[in-house]
């Protein structure tokens, strides 16, 4: 999606719809704005249902102060305008109060950004602002204090968060990533103490993927075009179900000629289209595209396992609660979970980055998936459908385990019952 060709009103609608659909705001909550090249501030209206906004509802505030539109602008317009005055490099402001961030705001602290690698890199520096009444000059002053110091993300005590960025889509990516981090930490604390990434490893995980030689495909095979068409719906389903978010999650599939199609680095997963996938073949990648930084692991899996034709690396928050704590994930909860997940191993974070071949070697017939500490779950399959099914089941199983915590101790399927499942379904080790 090329957002630079979208009218500001349409950009605000698209982002507000995503926020509302993902239950990160309510009918009356939150406000977004964009400053255009002429200095106009386009902003969501006051007291209008966020779930049914149309482009006619968006309000334009001219540099002269003239208001153009059928509604009043958001009551938070003063702090949006204040941010733009302080920071000429920012062209979008997002304010909302999603449940995870509100949970932190009402205990007046901030979520950790060092539990998974991508979060801190995407979000950047954050600050916590003193409480002030919504719409007040004091609130604007409190927020502006930090934006003036170069912060782009300001948490608000007993309120929510304010984010500024170059575009409303970039602001949304920060916002969604922070809410993910908040919810992950909350879920993980149900299991025990969270384990942050050591600083030396954190810096290593922030490195960009290796640069590959480029090539320009002369033709597109039927197999490649079909794979592009078929992989994208699974990426969108994963996003819609919260198994991945806009800023991370990589999918790949193997082509009959040995090539690999993989998600691009840095692209919003919600808007990926078939043409965005990156073709990698013979150590080179499609001209003008950058493959996911996790490409070495995907390649290592395909090289090691002839029967695997699809790989997904994702960070679903329920399962990631086990990745950022010392708790063991045991799939012997219901037969369906064990059938698909078998014996998932947890590997150290550095294995994924320093030894992808060694990590790939840990996958076997009874181990179709891996958990990398503080990073992700890797699932494999003979087809994208089977890999996606494993991802869904893994997070659903983790969710059930988390929900069971207040009910009592889990009774796992006994070893002899596991052996019976293997016999009935012809499972081999």
Helix 137-147 with 77-86: angle, nearest 10 deg: 30
Q: Rounded to whole angstroms, what are the CA distances from 277 to 252, 308, 326?
A: 9, 19, 35
Please state, as a whole number, how many other Cβ atoms lie within 10 Å of the Cβ of residue 329: 21
* Separation between Cα atoms, residue 43 and residue 77, nearest integer Å: 8
CB 56 within 8 A of CB 70: yes
Cβ-Cβ contacts under 8 Å for 117 (sequence gap 6 or more): 197, 202, 205, 206, 349, 374, 375
Round to whole Å and give the CA distance between 232 and 293.
19
DSSP state of 3: G
Among 4, 38, 66, 76, the active-site one is: 76
C-alpha 174/C-alpha 187 separation (Å) is 20
- Map tokens 């012809």 to a residue: 426
**Ordered DSSP codes for 31-89:** EEEEE-TTS-EEEPBTT--GGG--GGG-EEE-TTS-EESSSPBPTTHHHHHHHHHH-TT
Active site residue 373: no
Report how far residue 349's alpha carbon sits from residue 304's, in angstroms, rounded to the nearest whole number. 20
* Cα end-to-end distance, the chain, whole Å: 45
384-404 helix and 168-191 helix, angle to the nearest 10 degrees? 50
Task: Give the list of residues 6+ apart from residue 158 with CB closer than 8 angstroms, or none.
Answer: 105, 106, 108, 131
CA dihedral for 388, 291, 268, 7, sign (positive or negative): negative
- What are the residues whose beta carbons fall under 8 Å from the beta carbon of 308, sequence distance 6 or more? 254, 301, 302, 363, 380, 381, 382
CB contact at 8 A, 16 and 64: no
Give one word for 408, left, alpha or beta, with left for phi > 0 and alpha for psi -120 to 50: left
Q: Which of the residues are catalytic?
A: 76
């Amino acid at each position: 999606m090329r957002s630079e060709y979208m009218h500001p009103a349409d950009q605000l609608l698209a982002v507000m719809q995503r926020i509302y659909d993902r239950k990160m705001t309510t009918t009356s909550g939150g406000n977004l704005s964009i400053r255009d090249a002429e200095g106009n501030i386009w902003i969501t209206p006051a007291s209008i249902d966020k779930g049914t906004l149309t482009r006619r509802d968006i309000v334009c505030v001219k540099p002269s102060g003239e208001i153009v539109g059928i509604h009043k602008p958001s009551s938070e317009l003063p702090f949006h305008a204040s941010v733009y005055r302080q920071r000429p490099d920012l062209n979008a402001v997002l304010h909302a109060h999603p449940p995870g961030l509100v949970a932190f705001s009402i205990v007046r602290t901030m979520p950790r950004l060092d539990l998974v690698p991508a979060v801190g890199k995407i979000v950047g520096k954050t600050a916590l602002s003193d409480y002030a009444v919504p719409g007040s000059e004091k609130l604007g002053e409190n927020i502006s204090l930090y934006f003036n110091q170069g912060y782009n993300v300001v948490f608000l005590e007993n309120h929510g968060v304010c984010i500024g960025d170059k575009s409303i889509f970039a602001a949304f990516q920060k916002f969604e990533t922070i809410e993910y981090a908040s919810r992950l930490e909350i879920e993980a604390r149900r299991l025990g103490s969270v384990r942050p990434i050591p600083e030396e490893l954190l810096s290593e995980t922030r490195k960009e993927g290796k640069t590959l030689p480029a090539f320009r495909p002369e033709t597109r095979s039927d197999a490649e075009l079909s794979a592009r068409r078929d992989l994208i719906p699974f990426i969108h389903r994963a996003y819609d179900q919260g198994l991945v978010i806009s800023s991370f999650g990589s999918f790949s599939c193997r082509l009959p000629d040995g090539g690999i199609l993989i998600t691009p680095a840095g692209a919003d997963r919600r808007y990926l289209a078939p043409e965005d996938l990156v073709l990698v073949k013979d150590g080179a990648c499609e001209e003008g595209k950058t493959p996911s930084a996790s490409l070495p692991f995907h390649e290592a899996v395909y090289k090691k396992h002839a029967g695997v034709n699809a790989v997904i690396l994702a960070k679903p928050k329920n399962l990631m609660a086990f990745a950022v704590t010392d708790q063991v994930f045991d799939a012997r909860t219901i037969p369906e979970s064990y059938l698909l997940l078998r014996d998932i191993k947890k590997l150290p974070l550095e294995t994924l980055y320093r030894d992808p071949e060694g990590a790939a070697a840990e996958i076997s017939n009874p181990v179709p998936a891996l958990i990398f500490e503080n990073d992700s779950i890797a699932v494999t399959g003979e087809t994208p459908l089977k890999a996606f099914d494993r991802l869904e089941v893994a997070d659903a199983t983790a969710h059930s385990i988390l929900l069971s915590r207040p009910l009592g101790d889990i009774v796992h399927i006994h070893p002899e019952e596991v052996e019976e499942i293997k016999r009935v379904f012809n499972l081999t080790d």
